[in-house]
Amino acid sequence: MKYKVGLAIAGAFGLWLANSGTAFAQEEISTAELAVAMDTFFLLIAACLVFFMQAGFAMLTAGLTRSKNTANILFKNLMDFVMCSIAFWAVGWGLAYGTSAGGFIGTDQFFLGNVTAEGEVPILASWFFQVVFAGTAATIVAGAMAERTKFVAYLTYSFILSLFIYPVVVHWVWSGYGWLNGGDGTWGFTDFAGSTVVHSVGGWAALMGAIILGPRLGRFSSDGKPKTISGHSMALAMLGAFILWLGWFGFNPGSELAIGSQGSADAVALIAVNTNLAAAAGAVGALVTAWLRYGKPDLPQTINGVLAGLVAITAGCAYVTPVFAVLIGFIGGPLVVLAAEMLEKLKIDDPVGAVPVHLVVGIWGTLAVGLFAAYEGNTGTTGLFFGGGATLLIAQIVGILAIGLWTAGLAGAMFFAIKATIGLRVSKEEEEAGLDIGEHGAVAYPDLSPSRPYMPGASAD
């Protein structure tokens, strides 16, 4: 009551009391300040949801691999976010969002020094939102390199990715000064929440890592025939997938970066709906594809279909209508199933399907923006089928190629360097016994007896 009267008086007198001091503190807060506070709140909550994706990736990856490597893969999933938090605080954020050197790289704000933003969302809130994105890119690689990578090599790699490789890509696209998307009204590569910037970057690194490592012992028999190596817990995998789906409601809607500013609440609602529909459609797409090809509805394939739907809609979630979210997500389903087959033919061993999900579908989702964008991003252009011509589609292709070359090149060099120095892969004996014993001198489930002897390529099939 007292507040209403106070504001009425303040309104009549032109709100001249607005800056008169703390006695009037609550009455004087402006709607613009409230909008900023609400945006900050929104960004922090979205960041919490994205942070929780770390648990999702950990459970998914552990569930889809064998129990003799469970402690190791969980440990890696924990440590990549730990290393990322330190690296992105010290250097990564500055390279991504510091003052631009030619649209290529940021040059200040290291260790979060000198970061103030008057009347805007605090830089620290933005950092928190960005660090969990960086952590996502880093953690994607763990799955593709699971069950054979040295722990120390993994620590090194995830630190470098978060420190340098990923932040530079962010600068190119999201800094507002990048050469791929230089801000309002410019022609440019458009990736709303990171189908390419996050997922394909993780996916490219995952692909290079999987190739350079080579397949797990027993994954391909001596005559080249592939053998399925089943993951040890569908319960963990399913839990992980649900957590990831949940986290994506922070990942995509949060990338609007605002909800109190005008129009942003509508945008956030559209993004949330598109995200959910694409996930569901991706599940249907993968379920049907795998069912037709293999004769049974397959849970791990359908889980990857959910993730494919989510990755696919990430680039365009703010720009397409729900009908096209369903289409884009659905196509992700068959893509992820077929890409996994292709990898297997190429004798590339990706235990959890990280490359199909994050790289292949990440590319698809990024291209889809160029095809189906009905609403303009900051470039003022719609997609090919929505009256925008080929401009946006070409920008998407340029961005995909540039970021792919950068990431695959640097990640490849990094993995070769690691291989040549500290070593990338554990010994044959250690791989057979399990990395839990070899790397950590412990097992994940000491109370439970294994049903299969720990031998190369043993599987439940």
Say what the alpha-carbon torsion angle 354, 86, 407, 76 is, to the nearest 10 degrees. -30
Strand, helix or coil for residue 268: helix
Q: Does 455 bind its own copies (CB under 8 A)?
A: no
- Residue selected from 101, 269, 401, 413 as contacting its own copies according to rule CB under 8 A: 269
Stretch in the footprint of its own copies (CB under 8 A) among 21-29, 180-188, 371-379, 391-399:
21-29
Span near its own copies by CB under 8 A; candidates 139-147, 192-200, 205-213, 249-257: 249-257
Q: Shortest Cβ distance from residue 206 to its own copies (Å)?
A: 21
Nearer to its own copies, 269 or 342 (CB): 269
* Residue 9 binds its own copies (CB under 8 A): yes
Taking CB under 8 A as the criterion, the residue among 21, 23, 102, 118 binding its own copies is 118
Element (H, E) at 139: helix 123-144
Instruction: Decide: is 279 part of the binding site for its own copies (CB under 8 A).
Output: yes
**Site of tokens 């929104």:** 42
Total of residues contacting its own copies (CB under 8 A): 140
Using an 8 Å Cβ cutoff, are 355 and 363 in contact? no
Burial class of residue 118 in the structure, from the number of CB atoms within 10 Å of its CB (0-12 exposed, 13-18 middle, 19+ buried)? exposed
Beta carbon nearer to its own copies, 185 or 409 = 185
Measured distance CA(445)–CA(119) in Å, rounded? 52
Q: Rounded CA gap, 26 and 7, in Å?
A: 10
DSSP at 101: E
**DSSP class of 23:** G
Which sign, positive or negative, has the C-alpha torsion 339, 341, 344, 345? negative
**Element (DSSP H or E) covering residue 181:** none
Taking the complex as a whole, the smallest distance from the CB of residue 434 to its own copies amounts, in Å, to 10
According to CB under 8 A, which one of 217, 299, 394, 402 is a site residue for its own copies? 299
Q: Contact with its own copies (CB under 8 A): which of 60, 95, 153, 281?
A: 281
* Among residues 100, 276, 314, 382, the one that binds its own copies under rule CB under 8 A: 276
Which residue number, 127 or 189, has a Cβ lying nearer to its own copies?
127
Does 375 help bind its own copies (rule: CB under 8 A)? no
Residues 69-98 that bind its own copies (CB under 8 A): 70-71, 74-75, 77-79, 81-83, 85-86, 89
The one segment of 136-144, 390-398, 402-410, 449-457 that binds its own copies by CB under 8 A: 449-457
CA distances from 235 to 54, 69, 239, 453 (A): 17, 17, 6, 22
Is 5 one of the binding residues for its own copies (CB under 8 A)? yes
- Positions 157 through 216 that interact with its own copies (CB under 8 A): none
Under the binding rule (CB under 8 A), the answer on residue 272 touching its own copies is yes
Q: Shortest CA distance to 61 belongs to which of 237, 281, 245?
A: 237
Residue from the set 184, 224, 296, 429 that interacts with its own copies by CB under 8 A: 296
Question: Cβ closer to its own copies: 182 or 250?
Answer: 250
Dist. CA 274–CA 192, nearest whole Å? 13
Work out which of 249, 319, 364, 372 binds its own copies, going by CB under 8 A: 249
Please, what is the minimum distance in Å from the beta carbon of residue 292 to its own copies?
14
If binding is defined by CB under 8 A, does position 443 make contact with its own copies?
yes
Six token digits for residue 342: 């292709």
Q: Shortest distance, CB of residue 307 to its own copies, whole angstroms?
A: 12
Our CB check for its own copies shows the closer of 74 and 363 to be: 74
Residue 239 one-letter amino acid:
L
Site string for its own copies, 31-60 (x = CB under 8 A): xxxxxxxx-xxx-xx-xxx-xx-xx--xx-
**What is the H or E stretch that residue 105 is in?**
strand 105-106
Looking at residues 309 to 368 of the shown chain, list those that interact with its own copies (rule: CB under 8 A). 322-323, 326
Residue 11 makes CB contacts below 8 A (sequence gap 6+) with none
220 near its own copies (CB under 8 A): no
Cα gap 250→52, rounded to integer Å: 10
Alpha carbon of residue 168 to chain centroid:
16
Long-range contacts of 290-293 (CB under 8 A, 24+ apart): 290/337, 293/337
Only one of the segments 18-26, 160-168, 373-381, 412-420 lies at the binding site for its own copies (rule: CB under 8 A); that segment is 18-26
With tokens 């070359």, the residue in question is 405
